Structure 1
Amino acid sequence: MLNRVILVGRLTRDPELRYTPSGVAVTRFSIAVNRNYTNQQGEREADFIDIVAWRGLAETCANYLRKGRLVGVDGRLQINVFENNEGRKIRHAEVVAENVQFLEPKNRNESSNDFGGGGFGGNNGYGSGSSYSRNPVDDPFADDGKPIDISDDDLPF
């Protein structure tokens, strides 16, 4: 069986960091994910999906993510069932993040070394999280607007 969800979207609100009574960090946020089609008015609709991250990944998300940031989330779908005050069963779907990728710089107008693309997660979301930054100059695939000169000898096929 397989339960895997991969999403790319923008945060609809700042993450909320909390700790369980035993001291485990948990962060909740939601992302808006555009649908591939437009409605009858020509507008693109979006789905708003709740995300939960645990431990080190939770702390990293709470520290670095803000409303409007573009992220990639890799995780699993979880359905929680509980009874409300009226005794009705309520089903709530959320994605338990195992990996979160920051897909753009903190501030698109900054010219810092934080080029985005920092990834956090691994170890099923229970690790301390790790990150990397890269300078656009170090990216061999960066588009500097100039034509690329490739000879037939450079191609592998």
Structure 2
Amino acid sequence: MQRLKNISSGIIRSIRYSSETTTSREPPRIEKTINNVQLLGRVGADPQRKGSDQHPIAVFSVATHSNYRYESGEFLQRTEWHRVICFKPGLRETILTYLKKGQRVHVSGRITYGEVRGEDGKPKTTTAIAADDVIFFQTS
């Protein structure tokens, strides 16, 4: 058992913490966390349907750019590619039907990490954005 002292308004209080606070009578506090990603860029290729018939997913890539200017005045644009996956049935079908290569798109979601086995049987780590919402911009 651990004893902590808390000073509040000039009064010293003792608070006891023990294993009793994590019993089945009182649920433990769940810590809040944030895993939020937003991308605004262009689609790299037409989306593909992957996964199984029971668990299909839509997969596509989005390019984003970072612009740099050196002291010499030289301008550099660096492109980064992001793999986006979508599990939500309605959104998944909309992506597969309407989203096209080169289209400007805004993706909101969360970053995910996983592991797949390559053709050689060796594990390979993957990183993707699991899309919760995708906004399509009108093509010209």
TM range (shorter): 0.5 to 0.7
User: Which of the pair has more CA radius of gyration?
Assistant: 2
Q: Does 1:42 align with 2:42?
A: no
Would you tell me which structure has more strand in proportion to its own residues? 2
Q: Which runs of 4+ in 1 moved over 6 A?
A: none
Matches within 5 A, 1:60-139: 60-86=94-120, 88-103=122-137, 105-106=138-139, 108=140
TM-score, normalization by structure 1: 0.59
The whole-number CA distance in structure 2 between the counterparts of 1:37 and 1:7 is 19
The whole-number CA distance in structure 2 between the counterparts of 1:58 and 1:38 is 38
How well do the aligned residues superpose, as a CA RMSD in angstroms?
A: 2.2
Q: Which amino acid aligns with 1:49?
A: H
The whole-number CA distance in structure 1 between the counterparts of 2:126 and 2:113 is 6
Q: Does 1:15 align with 2:43?
A: no
Query: Which ranges in structure 1 are unaligned for 5 or more consecutive residues?
Result: 109-157
Q: Does 1:3 align with 2:46?
A: no
Q: Report the identity percentage.
A: 27
Task: Look up the SS of the partner of 2:75 in the other structure.
Answer: coil
CA contact 1:76–1:95 (8 Å) conserved in 2: yes
Q: Alpha carbons of 1:11 and 1:91: their partners in 2 closer, same or farther (altered >3 Å)?
A: same
